[in-house]
Amino acid sequence: MRNCFKLILVFSLLVVFPGVISAGDGTSLKRQYKRPLEIKFPRTARYSPQLVTLGKMLFFDTRLSGKNNLNCASCHNPSFGYEVPVKTPIGATLTPLQRQAPSLLNMAWVSPLFWDGRADTLEEQAVGPISHPDEMDGNFNIIVKRLKRSAEYRKFFRYLFPKTGITRENLLKAIATYERTIVAGWAPFDKWIDGDDTAISNSAKRGFVIFNGVGKCASCHQGWNFTDNQFHDIGLPIKKVDLGRAVQEPDNPFAKYAFKTPTLRNLTHRAPFMHDGSLRSLEEVVDHYIHGVIKRSSTSPKIRNVPLTASQKADLLAFLKSLTAERQDVSMPILPN
């Protein structure tokens, strides 16, 4: 009873005097942001280091594109949070695509996939960009023939898939298995959650309170991966008609202009933001939620303008920046001849 009273008192003080949460305060709230310590792989694609290595080679191999000039990393660059630092990626036709590339960070915990959720698994997801004429413009029959010309690829596939070898399905399984291992590294925020009270600044701690309180950010950006895996119209201006989730849910009035809630991990590497790359900085993102939300019939009931003060905005930004990993080293694979 005494501990319960102490917890209630702590949160009461935070409401009245929104300041700093120390390592021992807000234990139940902080527990919601505890990282998992293992990746769950589906039974149909069990983890093995050899399969991940093959998938990584394929992820970086331009032989999967129609003109041998693009790979998966062309749109999902590890240096930029597995996105690209331009408004939208450039595809096979050398023209900008309609949507920004969604980050591949922590995809093992995300479903459905794409901004509009049209794929349930990473295997399904990989088909789209590889074969779409505006993206990589690949043809799986041709890709399989190309890979079969490589003695090293034949050896790798024969070892991992002794009965079937190089096939479309095995190629997709390898890529998806590698993508499940793309996990955001430990950020200062994670160290704070784990008990290091000095890992983030007092401003970031206040930002955490705002994020979970008056800012209403956590209503969509939930848990350690900061996403509810749902779709929301967040009230952005409609510059190019893109119906979003409504293509999959035409009878849902809130699916129109609704897009997947993205993770907030490694944000400082991932500008520009939103499904259309329309906001150039984190500051612009926060400003949108302070005074830029456009109310229309499809706007999510969870989304509204939240008038934060200048100091609250600064604290919220400090918190968001604490979600970027201190190290995110990605080695380039040596591709088979």
SS3 readout for 151-212: HHHHHHHHHHCCCCCCCHHHHHHHHHHHHHCCCCCCCHHHHHHCCCCCCCCHHHHHHHHHHH
- What global pTM score does this model have? 0.90
Q: How far apart are CA 302 and CA 217, in angstroms?
A: 9
**What is the structure's pLDDT at 27?**
81
Identify the band that residue 18 occupies on the pLDDT scale cut at 50, 70 and 90: very low
Residue 326 is assigned to a structural domain of this protein: no
Domain of residue 304, residue span = 2-37+186-321
Same domain, 314 and 278: yes
Is 106 in the same domain as 220? no
- Give percent above pLDDT 90 in the chain: 87
The chain-wide mean pLDDT, for the chain, equals 92
Domain match, 26 and 52 both? no
Please say which residue of 138, 164, 180 terminates a domain.
180
Q: 14 with 102, same domain?
A: no
Domain assignment present for 59: yes
Checking if the pLDDT of 275 tops 80, the result is yes
Which amino acid would we find at residue 122? L
- 201 occurs within a structural domain: yes
Kindly state whether residues 85 and 176 are assigned to the same domain: yes
> Which candidate, 264, 266, 270, 275, places its Cα nearest to that of 234?
275
pLDDT in tens, 106-149: 999 999 999 999 999 999 999 999 999 999 999 999 999 999 99
Of 87, 83, 109, the C-alpha closest to 97 is: 87
Q: Answer yes or no: do 148 and 276 share one domain.
A: no
Residues 195 and 154 both lie in one domain = no
Percent of the chain with pLDDT over 70: 92
Q: If residue 29 lies in a helix (H) or strand (E), which one and from where to where?
A: helix 27-31
Domain-located, residue 330: no
Short-list 320, 85, 322, CA closest to 199: 322
Q: 198, 182, 185, 204: which is closest to 265 by C-alpha? A: 185
214 in any annotated domain: yes
Q: Do residue 89 and residue 142 come from a single domain?
A: yes
Rounded Cα gap, residues 297 and 295, in angstroms? 7
**In the predicted structure, residue 9 carries a pLDDT above the cut 80:** no
Q: Which of 126, 149, 180 is the last residue of a domain?
A: 180
* CATH number of the CATH domain containing 125: 1.10.760.10
pLDDT tens for 46-66 read 999 999 999 999 999 999 999
Q: What are phi and psi of 73, to 5 degrees?
A: -70, -10
Last residue of a domain, one of 180, 201, 224: 180
Residue 287 vs residues 117, 172, 173, 284, 291: alpha-carbon distances, Å: 27, 40, 41, 5, 6
Q: How far apart are CA 8 and CA 216, in angstroms?
A: 20
**Start-to-end Cα distance in the chain:** 68
Section 264-285 average pLDDT: 97
Average pLDDT over residues 242-269: 97
Per-residue pLDDT tens for 79-103? Answer: 999 999 999 999 998 989 999 999 9
List CB contacts of 163: < 8 A, sequence separation 6 or more.
none
Decide which of 166 and 44 is more confident: 166
DSSP code at position 229 = S
231 lies in some domain: yes
Residue 3, pLDDT > 70, answer no
- pLDDT for position 14: 38
Would you tell me how many other CB atoms lie within 10 Å of the CB of residue 13? 12
Which 3 state secondary structure label does DSSP give 118?
Answer: coil
**Local confidence band at 329 (pLDDT 50, 70, 90 cut-offs):** confident
In a domain, 332, yes or no: no
Q: 208 and 171 in one domain?
A: no
CA dihedral 223, 229, 232, 236 (to 10 degrees): 80
User: Residues 198, 284: one domain?
Assistant: yes
For residue 259, give every residue at least 6 positions away whose Cβ sits within 8 Å of its Cβ, in sequence order, or none: 115, 116, 231, 232, 233, 234, 244, 245, 274, 275
Handedness of CA 112, 115, 119, 125 (dihedral sign): negative
Q: What is the pLDDT of residue 330?
A: 86
Confidence at residue 25, expressed as pLDDT on a 0 to 100 scale: 55
